[in-house]
Amino acid sequence: MNRAADRPPTAAGDLLRIGREAQAALDGGRPIVALESTLITHGLPYPQNLDAARRAEAAVRGGGAVPATVALHGRRIRVGLEGSELAALAEARDLAKVSRQTLAAALARQDWAGTTVAASLVAAQLAGIRVFATGGIGGVHRGGERSMDISADLAEIARSPVAVVCAGPKSILDVPRTMELLETLGVPVVGWATDDLPGFFSRTSGGRVPSRVDTAPEAAALVERQRTLGLGGVLFCVPLPEDVALPRGEANAAIDQAIRDSEAAGIHGPASTPWVLGRVAELTEGRSVVANLALIEHNAAVAAAIAVALNAMSAAAG
């Protein structure tokens, strides 16, 4: 399925640089999982960000797939970084956070930049990668019905034929409106072995998921049907590991406080999520960061299992 010859021709060639290992996996039709990098450049402080990136890549490998972290560097969209490049990205300060709407402009610059879920999905699609993992997606921000601050992630998930594995929308966002918009955009939201919508730092959000799968082959079959119908992406929501989960009330209290503080500090737009996450980390004395690292790793492992199952299906279909 991932073989070079099966991929649609793209005019993006010169703007895209696929790493050696990722290219070999694509050429050989082996399972591969794309990973985003805004969580490295903006989501977590150094050195936890590098730890998260390495653990995610290791979890993908442990699951039998090849990791391909997406970022920008040298006026190219990079898909698949060397270990030293991952470290350079994690150590650099004041990098740009690039999403779909800023991608073309950012490619005029040499520097490293982090790619959001939306921009990373653009890259995955160009490279011919069908499975992607992150910690959390963007969504409808609180007050978004007035501010219209709605992440480009949602529309991108709707239009990219890529399976997105996340830990559910966190309550930094307006979770009910995020779910409504996903429904409007026609994105299947699928619980991973759960009927409850996971709440990122906590295993439940209070909401329900419209559908669920319990195994990787079941997930792969759903992804394949979605592709056959040409309906765009699928969003898998995976509850974080029990031992690091925060109680829902406690996570929400920290987030409420952090959002009040961000408003008092006048933080808006793309700066909002990184600022609020940093404040939540302070308020939970670092436990939100421990949870964040573990859920990123866990989601990467689930994504690898889905990629492996998709490949097995393609192989069986000849």
User: Could you tell which of Mn ion, ligand PSU, none binds residue 39, using a CB distance below 5 to 8 A set by kind?
Assistant: ligand PSU
Per CB under 6 A, does 38 bind ligand PSU? yes
Per CB under 6 A, does 297 bind ligand PSU? no
Using the Cα atoms of residue 164, residue 166, residue 168 and residue 169 in order, give the sign of their dihedral: negative
CA distance linking residue 51 with residue 42, whole number of Å = 14
Q: Exactly one of 36, 57, 156, 297 is catalytic; name it.
A: 36
User: Beta-carbon neighbour count of residue 139 at 10 Å?
Assistant: 24
Tell me, yes or no, if 36 is annotated catalytic: yes
Per CB under 6 A, does 42 bind ligand PSU? yes
Choice from 49, 127, 153, 262 touching ligand PSU (CB under 6 A): 153
Give the x/- contact pattern for ligand PSU in 167-186, rule: CB under 6 A: ---x----------------
Per the document, the length of the chain is 318
Size of the site for ligand PSU (CB under 6 A): 19
Per CB under 6 A, does 278 bind ligand PSU? no
Q: Exactly one of 57, 97, 156, 170 is catalytic; name it.
A: 170
Single out the residue of 304, 296, 301, 307 nearest to residue 50, CA to CA.
Answer: 296
Contacts of residue 260, defined as CB under 8 A and 6 or more positions apart, other chains included, come to none
Single out the residue of 316, 254, 248 nearest to residue 281, CA to CA.
Answer: 254
Choice from 2, 22, 23, 36 touching ligand PSU (CB under 6 A): 36
Cβ of residue 152: shortest distance to Mn ion, in angstroms? 8
Choice from 31, 168, 270, 278 touching ligand PSU (CB under 6 A): 270
Single out the residue of 182, 122, 130, 129 nearest to residue 151, CA to CA.
Answer: 182
Give residues in contact with Mn ion (CB under 5 A). Answer: 149
Residue closer to ligand PSU by CB (options 43, 128) is 43
Choice from 69, 99, 171, 202 touching ligand PSU (CB under 6 A): 99
Per CB under 6 A, does 151 bind ligand PSU? yes
User: Can you give the binding site for ligand PSU, defined by CB under 6 A?
Assistant: 36, 38-39, 42-43, 99, 116-117, 135-138, 151-153, 170, 270, 273, 277
